A and B are shown apart, each in its own frame.
Chain A
Amino acid sequence: MKLKNEWPIYYKKDVVTHYCPGCGHGIVHRIVAELLEEMDLGKRTIGVNPAGCAVLAYNYLDIDMIEAAHGRGTAIATGIKRARPDLFVLSYQGDGDLSAIGTAETIHSANRGEKFTVIFINNAVYGMTGGQMAPTSVLDQQTTTSPMGRSPDVDGYPLHITDIVAKFHGVTYAERVSLSTPKNIRRTKKAIQIAFETQVDDLGYSIVEVLSPCPTNWKMNTVDSCKWIDNVLEKEFPLGVLTDKREKK
């Protein structure tokens, strides 16, 4: 896999990003666009974008896309993939979207082993609505709705949804990666590539959880955001392959 210096063909040109400086969404969009090109998938892809900061993903990704209601991405993806099993289907979701309001859709699409790929951006907050607590917020994390820090007594504990679905027979590949360093970004691309291959080979459900910086709502600069991923977020959500059942299928 060689990195290209040219503009990826599935990334729209002449668009101004709406993402904040240091945001992880743009990095993952770029990785997705590169892989759709390198794996020759973009022409036969339908993507589903979420309600969340990535709601405008279709402004950047030059593929057919449909926008989901908050949390419903994997239900829409199910409808698309069942109606058109010949297409490559992608659901892109945030942590509030995928592990709060869309928990049922996430769990059951995974359990059915739907043959699509989920890209799960875990930035430990609700980015779009202004930095409220997410199911993935870590203990003591200050957010606009946990101003004193997340307290297990009243707010519960960080939800490890990818670990949960990784246990399902229907989930063929699950990995957690991070965007905190260039090395981690390269691994992120590798993980998404494996997830895409899982779908191309018709082996079942694949999901990649990406620990992703949200400097704006974390109220940190970009460098500190990356350090916070390494020193705090990653401690709660360790990186690595959570399941790989490709050989068994």
Chain B
Amino acid sequence: MNKIFISGNHTFAEAAIRAGCTCYFGYPITPQNELGEYMAANLRNNGGVFVQSESETAAINMVIGAAATGARVMTSSSSPGISLKQEGMSFLAGFELPAVIINVMRGGPGLGNIAPAQGDYFQATRGGGHGDYRTPVLAPGSVQEIADLTYLSFDLADRYKTPVMILGDGMMGQTKEPVLFPEKIKSLPEKEWALKSRGDGPSRFMASLVLDTAEMERHNWKLERKYQQIADNETRYELYKMDDAEVAIIAYGTTARIAKGAINRIRNEGIKAGLVRPITLWPFPKKILQELTRTINQFIVFEMSTGQMLEDVQLSIGGMADISFHGRPGGVIPTPAEFARFVYREYQEKKGLKS
């Protein structure tokens, strides 16, 4: 297999098809339109299902219907459309149905703009929809990783019977890079739990209405045990130049890439900075941060928001180390030079070297 030069949005789609996704439902929104367009061109003529729905609400409910039959299903959108999908995501979580939801984030709130942003972190990691549930959230840091994580997301969704979100942004979606795709999946295990019509067996139903409070509580705890398992087994992160680091930068997705550029600059200035890049935003890589506080006491959180992942960092290591924050919300893309200056100043200040 050779590498293909391809955009992030097309990569989401191609990787999903290779992962055995046979049904896609979605509604156009910038900056992720190329994803649905790729599905329209490549899914139907291979016997798959592509429906351009009347809204994101309809799309996520079509996802529920197709997922209930056991198909591998995906939908995608950008921030405002993801808000409309939250109702359905709550139902997917309650029904324990696997599905993959892609959010190519843009500036907000409201219509905001179509530039890359990271303002949907709270919505993605804190459930978003109503009720007591969690959604595993994967954050790719390159187009290659979009391919790998999209592929993985279908496995996670099936293994844990849960919706899985991939949180990208307009920059990730529009960037073109060489990508080596995983092999196309040939066959998938039968899903025993799926609705297939009763045939000669007993009938089954999927309901999210649980009027008996004791039963609802049991269901809530059952879900929680599953989420705990996911946290134990599936937490992922990347460490970059952390071996000798005295300053730890924490960033995901596009800002992580910018941070890498910044780290190379400040290392030239003699400051040993490294990067912790959460790949799963939920479950959040708490433990590694806690371990790092043994040797590092300066942490810098970097986001294209006013500080959302920052709260997870504070929850993980608050009181154990210094945490500072650099954020550029609204679709502004910070530069490596800008962030390098910020890190440099913070470092000097902490060392008492402030000029």
Residues of A at the B interface (CB closer than 8 Å) are 42-46, 48, 51, 55-56, 58, 61-69, 72, 75-84, 87-88, 104-105, 107-108, 112
Q: Are B209 and A67 in contact (CB under 8 A)?
A: yes
Chain A residue contacts of B200, Cβ below 8 A? 43
CB of B23 within 8 A of CB of A83, answer yes
Report the minimal beta-carbon distance from B164 to chain A, rounded to whole angstroms: 18
Known: A66-B205, A80-B68, A80-B69. A44 touches B197 (CB 8 A): yes
Return the chain B residue nearest A89 by Cβ: B65
Q: Which residue of A lies closest to B95 (CB)?
A: A66
Contacting pair A108 B53 (CB below 8 A): yes
- 0 or 1 for each of B54-87: is its CB under 8 Å from A? (1 = yes): 1101110111111111010100000000000001
Is the Cβ of B197 less than 8 Å from the Cβ of A83?
no
Contacts of B51 in A (CB 8 A): 78, 82, 112
For B195, the chain A residues whose CB sits under 8 A away are: 46, 64-66, 80
Count residues of B near A (Cβ-Cβ below 8 Å): 39
A158 to B91, CA, bound (A): 31
User: How far, in Å, is A204 (CB) from chain B's closest CB?
Assistant: 16
Q: Does B203 have its Cβ within 8 Å of any Cβ on chain A?
A: yes
- Complex Cα distance, B95 from A72, in Å, reads 15
* Cβ distance B343 to chain A, nearest Cβ, rounded Å: 46
| B196: chain A residues within 8 A (beta carbon) | 64, 84, 87
B88 cross-chain contacts in A, Cβ below 8 A: 69, 72
What are the residues of chain B within 8 A of A82 when measuring CB–CB? Answer: 23, 49, 51, 62, 65-66
Q: In the complex, which residue of chain A has the Cβ closest to the Cβ of B54?
A: A108
Inter-chain pairs besides A63-B197, A82-B66, 18 sampled, C-beta below 8 Å: A58-B203, A63-B203, A64-B197, A65-B205, A66-B65, A72-B64, A75-B53, A75-B62, A75-B64, A75-B65, A76-B64, A79-B62, A80-B65, A82-B62, A83-B69, A87-B69, A87-B196, A87-B197
Complex Cα spacing A58 to B202, Å: 12
Q: Is B197 a contact of A46 with CB atoms below 8 Å?
A: yes
Is the CB–CB distance between B54 and A68 below 8 Å?
Answer: no
18 sampled A-B residue pairs with Cβ under 8 A: A43-B199, A44-B199, A62-B198, A63-B198, A64-B197, A65-B205, A68-B61, A72-B57, A72-B61, A75-B59, A75-B64, A80-B65, A81-B65, A82-B65, A82-B66, A104-B54, A104-B57, A105-B61
**CA distance in complex: A58, B204 (Å):** 8
Chain A residues lying within 8 Å of B62, measured Cβ to Cβ, are 75-76, 78-79, 82
Q: Is B22 an interface residue (CB 8 A)?
A: yes
Q: How far is the CB of A33 from chain B (nearest CB, A)?
A: 11
B→A interface (CB under 8 Å): 22-23, 25, 49, 51, 53-55, 57-59, 61-69, 71, 73, 87-88, 91, 95, 195-200, 203-209
Residues of A within 8 A of B95 (CB): 66
B65 touches A77 (CB 8 A): yes
Residues of A within 8 A of B63 (CB): 79
Across the interface, do B57 and A83 meet the contact criterion of CB distance under 8 Å? no
When A76-B62, A80-B65 are in contact, do A64 and B198 touch as well, CB less than 8 Å?
yes
Identity of the chain A residue whose Cβ is nearest the Cβ of B204 in the assembled complex:
A64
Contact (A83, B61) CB under 8 Å given A42-B198, A43-B197, A44-B199: no
**Chain B, Cβ-Cβ closest to A63:** B203
